[in-house]
Amino acid sequence: MGKAVIKTNNWPFAKGEKAKLVWIGEPIKKNNKWMFYAYFRANNITRKILLDWASIHFLSVDKYYIDGNLNNGESIEDSIIMDINLGGIKADYREKDWELRGSGFYDKTKSKTFNFLKNGSLFTIPIIEIIRAVLAPNQFLLNRILEKDILENYFTYDITPDKLTLHFTSEYEEKLLKSEKVNQLAWILTNPDILKMFRNIATNLREHGELRYEFLFDKFNIKARVVRKNSYVRVLQILSLKKKTINVDEINVYHPSQEILEASDEPKKRKYVSQSNYGIRTLDPHADGSTKNTEEIKTFIITHEYEHTPKIIKVQSGRKLKRVKENKNTKTYVFEDKGLRTTADTGGEDLLRGLEFKNIAKINEKGELEEFIEILRLLEKREDVKSVEVIIGELSAASHGKKFSLLNDGITKRKYAIGKICMINGREISFIDIEREDKSLSMLVLRSHQTINWKSIFNILLYNLVNDSGKWSNAVIERFERIGILIHRMNHTKKDIFHKKKAFYKMLV
């Protein structure tokens, strides 16, 4: 059975035309996420397309691609497969200026490689290929490797001489608990030099604005697709990494999903059905971020071989009742899957629809959140308030069956409102309010003295609100506060709207 058809919807070439990938650009921050330009050439014309950063898993230089199908590239005829052992050989980092000209563009960049001299032969490997195939061979790690100090949002860990214990948060998706992904994490965490390489990539991007890191592998045994000319070997694509060492014998895994399930006699109130007639997955670079429940798109296989693999123990904690029966009162919700996908992962919970602020003048909200909007309108009139923007959205079910995402009727999705107030002095403060009905739930007030990816913060808070059945997660709030985000709970009162406006304004000043 062949690989899945993964197409990009911004392919610039004619149908059936073969285009050779000539260059993979460095990551750039665009549209609040990491992206890159890929450069393809056909009929002596070079064109570039913008893709999400994690889409580099589909690509390999000097392969031919047709009709935007990125997962089925065709190798050039003069490439060969070679086993290469570069362990113990000093890596020489080199960079040189590189120019790319094409249809409507002229780009200047740098070629960055690690070079190895062995037995009279020179081996050269692009630094981006080592990131793609060795350090971050799956979508989760590839999206994390550009983010400084972000791993702690997904797990904490403890290492003893023979054991690694991983405590995952609910932000780490259950589908990522597969053994190959846990082993890759364990390999990074139990080898200090590899962890240093992983972390330094984000540090250099943030502090120096460039993709660069040291080569700190003591073992580097790979199988690769290469082009060889006499004593010069150019690595095009790493296919596998061999003889990896995980420096523990046992891995204990804790995850919120690992509860002991017990069947309930109560029938289901609702069930969810995904309806799909599409065999093609289309990548959309305009999407804000993938959902927690979206399938992980398979790329070509990158094999990682270990000298030994530790025993993985998934620790169950807590019990959970699961309704397995259905009756005439069970409501069925059908979701249409149109095949659109994104490899971006900015914490978004709405597939292909990111959180977008609108000017408050364009908001016309009725119902329980109407007063929240009116208070923001009153604040906008103050002289020291520069602007007020609002997001109105519906909570998504963090896990199918989570009741809090729906109102008491079991059908209507519960709404949230996020108000962002920008002051004349440059300070930004955000308020989050939720439709409560009869529930006791405070508003949140957020602010920080540093640049923050607020959309990601909002999504994580809302995701955990649903997953924790309508309670703001203390663990998540404490973790955000440790990285400099100030979060204050603000209780609802029965005072009139002008007293409430004063309470809001105190939060601003």
- Rounded to two decimals, the pTM is 0.65
Segment 75-82 mean pLDDT: 88
Q: Among 67-71, 186-190, 261-265, 288-292, which stretch is predicted with the lowest mean pLDDT?
A: 288-292
Looking up tokens 């010069």, which residue turns up?
A: 232
**CA pair distance 140, 173, nearest whole angstrom:** 9
| Full DSSP string of 210-243 | S-------S--EEEEEEEEETTEEEEEEEEEEEE
| pLDDT tier at 1, thresholds 50, 70, 90 | very low
> Exposed e or buried b for every residue in 293-318, given b needs 16+ CB within 10 A?
bbebbebeebeeebeebbebeeeeee
The three-state secondary structure class of 373 is helix
- The token pair that represents 341 in the structure block: 């996908």
Evaluate whether 283 touches 6 at the Cβ level (below 8 Å): yes
- pLDDT tens-digit readout, 19-42: 999 999 999 988 668 889 999 999
- Alpha-carbon torsion angle 223, 239, 42, 234, nearest 10: -30
pLDDT at residue 274, as a whole number:
53
For the ranges 255-259, 360-364, 461-465, the lowest mean pLDDT is seen at 255-259
